[in-house]
Amino acid sequence: MERTPLCPARLEILLVCTDSSPDSQGAMDGALALAQACGSKIYLLQVLEFNPEFEAQAPEFVARREDKIHAYMESVKALTDQRGVPLEIRVRRGESAHEGIVEEALKIKPDMIIMGRRGRSRLFRLMMGNVTARVIGHAPFHILVVPKGAPLAFKKILSASDGSPHSDAAWEEALFIARRVGSDLTALSVARNDGELDAARAIVDKLQARAAAAGVGVATLVLQGRPDEAIIQVAQKNRLDLLVLGAMGKTGLESLLMGSVTERVIAQAPCAVLVVKKLRA
């Protein structure tokens, strides 16, 4: 049975990025559920990736593609109109989808960007230079990645931390959501080897103390192994609703570009992943 989400934060504006494919349906489903819970307005955006030379050589093909996209987006708008959710369509052309999304986001200033995810059979398309990872790397807004078919709810939340400032921002957001909607919250830190176990325990102790100060109950876990694998295993075993992660770990932007924990978790998570980009005011 799917759960209808409570409103986890003040979300007046949602930017939903689509490519009109079934893989991006999770983003639209999640956005619609959130908009109904929070009274949000949705901006539905698709960027057509065409270079100027191709457009000049095949203008009819480009026009047909754009017509199909507008038809799809109008069908989505008809659905949101039925549910009383305001939606504005944005279609733009560009050589880079992620640059177009970031530029549009800077104009709209959404409270959250919502994106879909490629299926597991196309894992490597997500892992190397994909649109979602690049938007996470460049947009200064929280990004919610919703796999197709994954219900959006906030009953069971996990936030994983490596002690970095980005992880701290994710923990503050997880605490805020848990306090607002009454979530079951878990703090996790993963040691890669025996030598990191004490540091991992210190991290979860610190997170637990901050939760206690905020009046939020929290379960803690310290595991050993590859962080992304540990996070996914806990998410699957505990049937979590949401993972809350920082955009980057201790190694900064470099960690996002190739094989970062956040990117690997997004690729395999059975539930939605919220990537936190800034500290809550």
What per-residue confidence (pLDDT) applies to 130? 75
What DSSP character marks residue 84? T
Q: What is the assigned CATH class of domain 13-145?
A: alpha beta
Q: Do domains 13-145 and 156-276 have the same CATH topology?
A: yes
Architecture of domain 156-276: 3-Layer(aba) Sandwich (3.40)
Give domain limits for the chain. 13-145, 156-276
What strands, in cross-sheet order, belong to the sheet with 13-17?
A: 87-94, 41-49, 13-17, 112-115, 143-145, 272-276, 242-246, 156-160, 184-191, 218-224
What per-residue confidence (pLDDT) applies to 120? 43
Mean pLDDT by 10 residues, the chain (281 residues): 73 93 86 95 90 73 84 93 96 88 96 80 43 86 92 94 92 96 96 94 97 96 95 97 82 42 88 87 64
Q: Between vectors from CA 174 to CA 198 and to CA 207, what angle results, nearest 5°?
A: 25
What per-residue confidence (pLDDT) applies to 253? 39
What DSSP character marks residue 196? G
What per-residue confidence (pLDDT) applies to 281? 64
What per-residue confidence (pLDDT) applies to 54? 67
What per-residue confidence (pLDDT) applies to 74? 94
Nearest to 151 by CA among 277, 17, 37: 37
